Structure 1
């Protein structure tokens, strides 16, 4: 029986066509880091105090220091209060200096920030004092957008197609990403960030499908993880970009506008032929395969191409199918937990690694370098040890590192930083493994729906991670204990999954276990025909 993998072998396992496709999928990933964590660099905390210019009406010759001493109360450390001032009075300057002011009030006239500080999101929208939590809220709104994107783009790409949904994702990122630079109000900013999150989620999960469905069995991890490496490089680029551009609106344009250059994808991005076959669009699938073979300088024999037919039992899937069939239910539940644990420990450690002793830009550069090393290592680890072992063991190791941190004295900052950085490395490898593993476990007709559901679990834990860190105010070990304990348990559950290394991608929902590639392999021979091997 001819499998779809035979057509990929005929086209070329990872030829020029697939290499160009991976390149196209990589380009948006360079900007993913900006949308995911760029807000750190546009909400920069700066010294501030209440606007007390009212006193200038009675004391125009006061120095700045004298003005602040007369109008601002001090905290227990002797520093000026940032969120309160003395209430204005109708006295003359002499009376104010003699008797002083006692009644305090909030900063009803606004705040004063360092004049040399470039405009940031914090200073422009006064995200201080009573509104200081809005910055964290906006990040949660962005994560909500990622969740909504996983919920919508997963099923839609299974029904409508990978290509149109990918193009729509890019359009949303570009349009609303640049639009953020012109928002007049912070709540509009949050709404636009939510839409950008939807677009980012769409590009992430559809990249997974296109990168796996166009390549051969041995090249799947490489194709997926190369795109992840570009995301890690994007983190390092973000450090330099944000260091050079301090005005938040200009930085937003610089991090989003390049996405408009990718609109040429309308003419060059191919649809997945594997998905086309599941939809019965055989002629379109043949044209896509023939074009790919031509680019790779191969030829598909007519007798093989004639065998490209839709399977009678193949039908469109829905999210309910993931829970109706026993084997898909197990995969869905365990892989959703795996993605949840990946995201939980990844964001938990990323937000808690503060012992580098570097400024925010060098720290971001270090984070990107650690991630890049983890992504590259993942390619070889999956080839050597398979998917199940790496997924399980790396989650276990990430969890154990979190638990070990709880046993280290608080004053051992260097040791904690080394352990946390190692945990970030292992969680990065585990996250990349989950992408590859998920694509190989779910069938084509419902692959994006399954990946979208798993991505939703990751987004939920991404929202929970900073909230769990707040529990550290009760005891410092609580957050790491939660991160570590949950990840260890889920790592053990992953041993129940089947191994998918060396197996063909499933197309329909009838297969309970991954199937090894057909022993009859059609191998391309420099365009001169195919050699049939048994």
Structure 2
């Protein structure tokens, strides 16, 4: 028997797996908090130059009267009203006493506390980019650790570090420490995301794998919407940071309830532990392991020792990896480019942020409907939708804020759906022995997109069309490249590098399609010169 048949025999998505997904989904809510909180904690309210120390009490304080966004765009926002006469011409005088900020929307943000405006405005975007860099480092670090030490250990470690350092961010004494702590939080977020997803995927049978993978995305969307409500109630950035971080301590009990991946244990030749877990899962699901089970043949009867270099050593895996890496890059680039640029739309920040989170629910629901038919075409279509929506925004006048917001929501819809597809697609194309490493490398390229997103948004100050051109054309190229990937719908997960390399033969697409339509998938795998026919679950 292969592992897919074992999962089917014990209940591929029974009570045991459903309980596991409850534990996997809870951290996803907190991940959304940490990912998007900078929209509020790093917001820049209207401001203008403080003319004298007595004009306001303390850093970031406001003065009577309302400030509008136009105040921040005028000379008074960065320069004093006084002027110096030098060489028969007047020169503007930089603010000597700091700035005053409107408190109509925010009590405090990192911008108001550390005066991240005017010549320091780029530091705000730098902080977001460094957080995204943490996501990139974490995806590689925690991905490699998980393939070596197991999904469970690294997931628990990521949750613990995320909670501790997330709380520490709220007490950062200066901007430098704040950025460093956020970098660490970002690295742990990647560790939790990829390990939770892979752990759930490896416990789920072929037919339910796609459904189970997207369930976690619903939890992320829920966290996205909840953050808008929490931020609306808590307008002080330090209190908001504490509010989204401290609940992580409630997940301490995960030490006792979170299981290992039986598939990973088998790949590491820890058969007794794997059999014990499979027996437990079968018991919870009201099933029993087949009496003919011979675990030594599930993965070829020997320990799998592989290197990340195997991903580029094999020609088919190398081609697929390059395409996947680009799609990850462009998906995250546009996703966070739109999400972090929400304040430029000119609409209510809290309402728009809530709608941006709400739109993720129908986007992922549509993925559930179309993904069973084709991973490849779904990936292509959703990337194209996101890119076209961004390009259409170029034709809308700047004063049509609600039209721009509507197109941005459509673009967010397409890119969110693409995000849901690429997670499932990547997990299905990489083998068990390198799945976590493959996802980690994919996320590394994705986080490169996250690092560049706030930098590209900064181009808006010089050319408002530049970010939209980039966010529009890059996904269209990704949509074209997606057509070169193999179809993985209703196919068993590959376990070894050889199985992944021979996962799908481009020479016989018609045969594969006809077999899948009949519900019986047969793949010929060549391992050490021997052929093995494996029939997957109908």
Rounded Cα–Cα distance in structure 1 between residues aligned with 2:308 and 2:286: 39
Compute the displacement of 1:223 (Å).
Answer: 1.0
Specify every segment of 5 or more residues in structure 1 that has no aligned partner in the other structure, as ranges. Answer: 57-63, 66-73, 89-101, 521-531
Contact 1:50 1:83 in 2 (8 A): no
Decide whether aligned partners of structure 1 residues 75 and 206 sit closer, same or farther in structure 2, where only a CA change above 3 A counts. Answer: closer
TM-score, normalized by length of structure 2? 0.84
- Paired residue for 2:149? 160
TM-fit CA distance, 1:154: 1.0
1:481 aligns with 2:469: yes
Judged with a 3 Å threshold, the aligned counterparts in structure 2 of structure 1 residues 142 and 419 are, in CA distance, closer, same or farther, namely same
Q: Compare CA radii of gyration and give the structure with the larger one.
A: 1
Give the secondary structure class of the aligned counterpart of 1:267: helix
1:233 is aligned to 222
- Cα-to-partner distance string for 1:412-463 (whole Å, 9 max, x where unaligned): 5444433332121111111110000000000000001111111111111122
Change (3 A) 1:413 1:204: same
Counterpart check, 1:418 vs 2:414: no
- Distance in 2 (CA, whole Å) between partners of 1:107 and 1:312 is 72
CA contact (8 A) 2:379 2:421 kept: yes
468, 486, 491: which is aligned to 1:503?
A: 491
Matching residue of 1:347: 336
Q: Does the CA-based 8 Å contact 1:31-1:255 persist in structure 2?
A: yes
Residues 449, 288 of structure 1: alpha-carbon distance in 2 compared, 3 angstrom cutoff: same
Note if 1:49 corresponds to 2:49: yes
- Out of 433, 446, 460, the residue aligned to residue 458 of structure 1 is 446
Q: Report the Cα distance in structure 2 between the residues aligned to 1:508 and 1:282, rounded to whole angstroms.
A: 16
What corresponds to 1:403 in structure 2?
391
Q: 2:375 aligns with which of 351, 372, 387?
A: 387
Q: Report the Cα distance in structure 1 between the residues aligned to 2:98 and 2:344, rounded to whole angstroms.
A: 34
Does 1:280 find its partner at 2:239? no
**Does the 8 Å CA contact 2:116/2:124 hold for their aligned counterparts?**
yes
How far residue 182 of structure 1 moved from its aligned partner, in angstroms, is 1.2
Deviations 1:373-432 (A, max 9, x none): 11122112112x221110112212322333333344555544443333212111111111
Residue in structure 2 matched with residue 97 of structure 1 by the alignment = none
The one-character-per-residue Cα deviations of 1:293-341 (angstroms, maximum 9, x if unpaired) are 1111111133225566542565232221111111110111011111112
Residue 438 of structure 1: aligned partner: 426
Q: Superposed, which structure 2 residues align to 1:74-113 within 5 Å?
A: 80-84=76-80, 86=82, 105-113=93-101
1:227–1:154 CA distance, 2 compared to 1 (3 A): same
Contact conserved, 1:155 with 1:318, CA < 8 A, in 2? no
Q: Is the Cα contact below 8 Å between 1:355 and 1:414 reproduced in 2?
A: no
Q: Is 1:494 equivalent to 2:482 in the alignment? A: yes
Greater shift, 505-514 or 479-488, is seen at 479-488
| Contact 1:354/1:417 (8 A) holds in 2 | no
Alignment length (residue pairs):
493
Aligned ranges 1:122-141 → 2 under 5 Å: 122-141=111-130
CA distance in 2, matches of 1:352, 1:78: 21
Tell me how far apart the structure 2 counterparts of residues 20 and 51 of structure 1 sit (CA, whole Å): 60
* CA RMSD, Structure 1 to Structure 2 (Å): 3.0
Q: Secondary structure at the match of 1:133?
A: helix
- Mean Cα deviation higher: 419-428 or 79-88: 79-88
Show the counterpart of 2:528: none
* CA displacement, residues 85-119 of structure 1 (integer Å, 9 cap, x when unaligned): 6599xxxxxxxxxxxxx986444444444688633
CA displacement at 1:81 relative to structure 2: 4.4
Is 2:342–2:352's contact at 8 Å kept on the other side of the alignment? no
From the superposition, tell whether residues 119 and 270 of structure 1 become closer, same or farther in structure 2 (CA, over 3 Å). Answer: same
- From 179, 186, 192, give the equivalent of 1:190: 179
Contact preservation (8 Å) 1:392, 1:491: yes
- Does the 8 A contact of 2:376 with 2:483 survive in 1? yes
Q: Displacement of 1:351 after TM fit?
A: 4.3
1:151 aligns with 2:151: no
What TM-score does the superposition give when structure 1 sets the normalisation length?
Answer: 0.85
